[in-house]
Structure 1
């Protein structure tokens, strides 16, 4: 038994039917949301990481704190730019910059960079598998 929604949709193989690789209504928006969510979480974690680094006994200078805050701001801005073609590439560059900042500021930023680099790699994998 089929419902009225299924009768209105052309079956696969009929003229005008585009096979959907996923069951999502709007796969592009879902993938953008995944990328944006990952970057927003990264921005929050970066901002929250400043105080624990200071508690560990590291005397952060003004430019080092500014670097961490700058990375968090860039992550938040890129979350809003996921509709742009260059958004995913810029997100990847941000992950590389975070890894490099761990060499300059503190090793814990490298650990955060590895964690979010893996999350970003997974988001990119999901993007490729859903959008093709």
Structure 2
């Protein structure tokens, strides 16, 4: 960083000043953590939702349970892949698949809306922090 000869630090907007978009030390890691946390929470909720759906709804068949388990595994794998740029797009596709899972049971649509909104917020935070 180019400091003036008088030893003071340049103010934001002056020549030689570095502009930081956030006060975070490592904004990329913070955003990855938000995305990974959202997907990990989604995986846990999906797995925990199987039994209540079976008891209360009653019409979730074997392939529907398999779909929920598949979506939970995909969410967990994507949570571990957040260092890759494609994981954000894949996370968005996962939210669409969860919404489409509403064809198996209405409660999956409800979970899809909830986690779709959480994912949209994570994407908004990512865009606002990283630019």
Which TM-score bucket, shorter chain as reference?
0.7 to 0.9
Which residue is 1:89 aligned to? Answer: 89
Q: Secondary structure at the match of 1:130?
A: helix
Match runs of 1:1-132 below 5 Å: 11-12=11-12, 13-15=14-16, 17-103=17-103, 105-132=104-131
* Structure 1 residues 96 and 8, CA gap change in structure 2 (3 angstroms): farther
Superposed CA offset, 1:31-54 (max 9, x none): 000000000000000001100111
For the aligned residues, what is the CA RMSD?
Answer: 1.7
- Shift >4 Å, 4+ stretches: 7-11
Report the CA distance between 1:11 and its aligned residue: 4.9
Partner Cα separation in structure 1 for residue 52 and residue 27 of structure 2:
38
Q: How many residues align?
A: 124
Structure 1 unaligned segments of length 5 or more: list them: 1-6
Report the CA distance between 1:9 and its aligned residue: 6.8
**TM-score where L is the length of structure 2:** 0.88
